[in-house]
Amino acid sequence: MAYKFLYQGVIASLMGLVFLYNTLLTRLFKKTKTSSSSCSSMAFPGGNCSQKTRNGEVDGSTTDIIIVGAGVAGSALAYTLGKDGRRVHVIERDLNEPDRIVGELLQPGGYLKLLELGLEDCVDRIDAQPIFGYALYKDGKNARLSYPLENFHSDVAGRSFHNGRFIQRMRRKAGSLPNVSIEQGTVTSLLKQNGTIKGVQYKNKDGHVSTAYAPLTIVCDGCFSNLRRSLCDPKVDVPSCFVGLVLENCELPYANHGHVILADPSPILFYPISSTEIRCLVDVPGQKVPSVYDGEMALYLKTMVAPQIPVELYDGFISAIDKGNIRTMPNRSMPAAPHPTPGALLMGDAFNMRHPLTGGGMTVALSDIVVLRDLLRPLRDLHDASSLCRYLESFYTLRKPVASTINTLAGALYKVFSASPDPARKEMRQACFDYLSLGGVFSNGPVSLLSGLNPRPMTLVLHFFAVAIYGVGRLLLPFPSPTRIWIGARLISGAAGIIFPIIKAEGVRQMFFPVTVPAYYRAPPVD
Ligand SMILES: Cc1cc2nc3c(=O)[nH]c(=O)nc-3n(C[C@H](O)[C@H](O)[C@H](O)COP(=O)(O)OP(=O)(O)OC[C@H]3O[C@@H](n4cnc5c(N)ncnc54)[C@H](O)[C@@H]3O)c2cc1C
């Protein structure tokens, strides 16, 4: 028993050292950044609403920014830029309330971003549920992992809801600004002239082809984006699919908590989406799922999945399958790899995706909007496309600490939480569950990363390897055997094999040393 305490003590001291290093580094970065940006503040622009000409064209002289897509990113962005006085023209394929299984749990870090953007009331009056943390289940044991919310206002917590209700609230709020116009239409292409995006071509609600022009077009057309191809290098990976069900008339074992079941072959999630409904998302590895239509999916859920879920949810789960409203959605991940293009920018899932296991997508999108808003604020005029494009390259570095932490954690946790026949991977999975169950700094650290409350790349790497070392220590103590040493070595190399490729794709320099990237210091072009 004593070796366990000694061992935890060593890990805690190691972590303390890295925290100290991290805090000092961050303070230094903040000081440098503040002094570089404080000299660039200028007056905000005033604005009128976008004006349509008689032939249906939206004139570039009356629009500052076109936004393609009014989902989570597009509608939040439209409100944010509209509030700053920009004349915004949003083109959205379908203005009816979306009915989807995505974007239903907003992490507390995302809620903080809503507050910063003045959009927090969009989670009011939609029967959204406050979320205070997670419950983690493995082999009949469970642990509660609370969000470390002690230092925040009592309103700050996660929120879960119907995605469509949230989006409609944001669309309405954006549309209530006199300088934001939202139009139903499908954008078919970006209009390019001499390498600069000048606007978009789109089919409006009546099927007529129209064009719209603006100095800046921001593409937020989501995970299936057709428009991103010319603006980035889209390397999309689809590791698995989520199968979605809604459970009614049952209670979660831990009220107002997300539930993660470390099942075989991969995790199962439960969280409330209203006061009477619980969303269940079952991860199915690979790109092909059993067919919903010929009953294969129902059979799979009843025979393979149902025996692994908490007993409190069993009846509700079976009823949900019998009701038959089973939805599926591919889980995509794509590192941000932009081709900076004058006149255009990508945001939201069109730009960057990660596995939805940790519910980080909306938090990253909202955090990116805050970064972009702050960069655009000093600019009166957006017409000098080349200078603007060069200036906005800083966006790709400034967003990194938050975005890359959430992205890396999502990819790494998905791998660690998935079952494997490999003994080293099994040990890593068990070590992760036990490490998080220790509570205190061992759960607060990882949960504050996941929740977006304190997303720091260095802290992420530290906890990830602390889990691996914890796993190895348990193998070797009190008496190591050659087999256990071998499994321990493979556990460490397996952990490295999980996290390093993700970090490489995110960009080591941008992620850990953003202040060394020249674009970090770009000053706004002089109007
Ligand atoms: C299964 C699953 C579960 C998820 N769960 C969570 C979660 O719990 N928490 C979380 O934070 N994130 C979650 N995510 C991720 C989250 O849904 C996304 O990060 C978020 O929705 C991204 O917002 P977006 O605006 O980029 O895309 P979307 O919200 O998808 O919006 C894109 C919009 O663009 C419109 N559009 C598309 N093409 C065109 C066109 N050509 N012209 C005009 N309009 C167009 C669409 O109609 C849509 O309204 C999940 C993802 C998946 C796949």
Return the domain boundaries, the chain: 2-33+403-514, 65-126+161-235+334-398, 238-332
From residue 11, alpha-carbon distances to 24, 257, 271, 462 in Å are 20, 28, 32, 10
Residue type at 249 in one-letter notation: N
pLDDT of residue 348: 98
Ligand 1 in reach of 363 Cβ (< 6 A): yes
Ligand 1 in reach of 451 Cβ (< 6 A): no
Residue nearest (by alpha carbon) to ligand 1 atom 26: 348
Ligand 1 in reach of 239 Cβ (< 6 A): no
| Phi and psi at residue 223, to the nearest 5° | -70, -25
From residue 321, alpha-carbon distances to 1, 9, 286, 374 in Å are 46, 47, 21, 46
Structure tokens at 201: 């071509």
Mean pLDDT computed over 347-358: 98
Closest residue by Cα to residue 203 from 222, 188, 221, 218: 188
Q: In the structure, what pLDDT confidence band is assigned to residue 28 with cuts at 50, 70 and 90?
A: very low
Structure tokens at 259: 């539930």
Q: In the structure, what pLDDT confidence band is assigned to residue 47 with cuts at 50, 70 and 90?
A: very low
Question: What is the Å distance from ligand 1's center to 121 Cα?
Answer: 20
pLDDT of residue 249: 86
Q: Among all chains, which residue has been given the structure tokens 């925290």?
A: 19
pLDDT of residue 24: 45
Structure tokens at 171: 């669309």
Enter the pTM of the model. 0.91
- Residue among 190, 362, 364, 406 whose CB has most ligand 1 atoms within 8 A, to mutate: 362
- Report the alpha-carbon distance of residue 59 to residue 50 in Å, rounded: 8
Q: In the structure, what pLDDT confidence band is assigned to residue 240 with cuts at 50, 70 and 90?
A: very high
Residue 26, pLDDT > 60, answer no
Mean pLDDT computed over 36-60: 41
Residue 378, pLDDT > 50, answer yes
Residue 322, pLDDT > 70, answer yes
Mean pLDDT computed over 212-236: 97
Mean pLDDT computed over 266-283: 98
Digit-coded pLDDT (tens) for 291-308: 999 999 999 999 999 999
Residue 354, pLDDT > 90, answer yes
- Residue among 223, 226, 363 whose CB has most ligand 1 atoms within 8 A, to mutate: 223
Digit-coded pLDDT (tens) for 444-456: 999 999 999 999 9
Structure tokens at 55: 């032939």
Ligand 1 in reach of 73 Cβ (< 6 A): yes
- Report the alpha-carbon distance of residue 174 to residue 88 in Å, rounded: 10
Question: What is the Å distance from ligand 1's center to 349 Cα?
Answer: 6
Question: What is the Å distance from ligand 1's center to 465 Cα?
Answer: 32
Buried-exposed string 55-88: b where 16+ CB fall within 10 A, e elsewhere: eeebebebbbbbbbbbbbbbbbbbbbbbbbbbbb
Question: What is the Å distance from ligand 1's center to 57 Cα?
Answer: 28
Question: What is the Å distance from ligand 1's center to 73 Cα?
Answer: 8
Mean of the per-residue pLDDT values of the chain: 90
Q: Which helix or strand (DSSP H or E) is residue 365 part of? A: helix 361-376
Looking from the CA of residue 98, the nearest atom of ligand 1 is 49
- State how beta strands 258-261 and 268-272 pair: antiparallel
Mean pLDDT computed over 60-77: 94
Question: What is the Å distance from ligand 1's center to 102 Cα?
Answer: 7
Least confident range from 45-54, 66-75, 483-492: namely 45-54
Ligand 1 in reach of 74 Cβ (< 6 A): yes
Percent with pLDDT over 70 in the chain: 88
58, 208 contact by CB (below 8 A): no
Choosing among 3.20.20.70, 1.10.630.10, 3.10.330.10, 3.30.9.10, the CATH entry for 238-332 is 3.30.9.10
Residue 507, pLDDT > 70, answer yes
Mean pLDDT computed over 168-194: 98
By three-state DSSP, how is residue 113 classified?
Answer: helix
Any residues with CB less than 8 A from the CB of 354 and at least 6 apart, and which? 333, 360, 361, 364, 406, 407, 410, 411
Residue 101, pLDDT > 70, answer yes
- Residue among 80, 129, 221, 228 whose CB has most ligand 1 atoms within 8 A, to mutate: 221
Looking from the CA of residue 350, the nearest atom of ligand 1 is 26
Q: In the structure, what pLDDT confidence band is assigned to residue 521 with cuts at 50, 70 and 90?
A: confident
CATH topology identical between 65-126+161-235+334-398 and 238-332: no
pLDDT of residue 349: 98
Ligand 1 in reach of 455 Cβ (< 6 A): no
Query: ω before 338 within 30° of 0 (cis)?
Result: no
Question: What is the Å distance from ligand 1's center to 48 Cα?
Answer: 29
241, 268 contact by CB (below 8 A): no
Q: In the structure, what pLDDT confidence band is assigned to residue 25 with cuts at 50, 70 and 90?
A: very low
CATH topology of domain 65-126+161-235+334-398: FAD/NAD(P)-binding domain (3.50.50)
CA 407 to chain centre: 7
Question: What is the Å distance from ligand 1's center to 291 Cα?
Answer: 24
Residue 73, pLDDT > 60, answer yes
Mean pLDDT computed over 279-302: 96
Residue 14, pLDDT > 60, answer no
Ligand 1 in reach of 270 Cβ (< 6 A): no
Residue nearest (by alpha carbon) to ligand 1 atom 31: 71
Considering just the CA atoms, what is the radius of gyration of the chain in Å?
Answer: 24
Question: What is the Å distance from ligand 1's center to 168 Cα?
Answer: 13
Mean pLDDT computed over 321-333: 96
Residue nearest (by alpha carbon) to ligand 1 atom 49: 71
Residue nearest (by alpha carbon) to ligand 1 atom 41: 187
Residue 50, pLDDT > 70, answer no
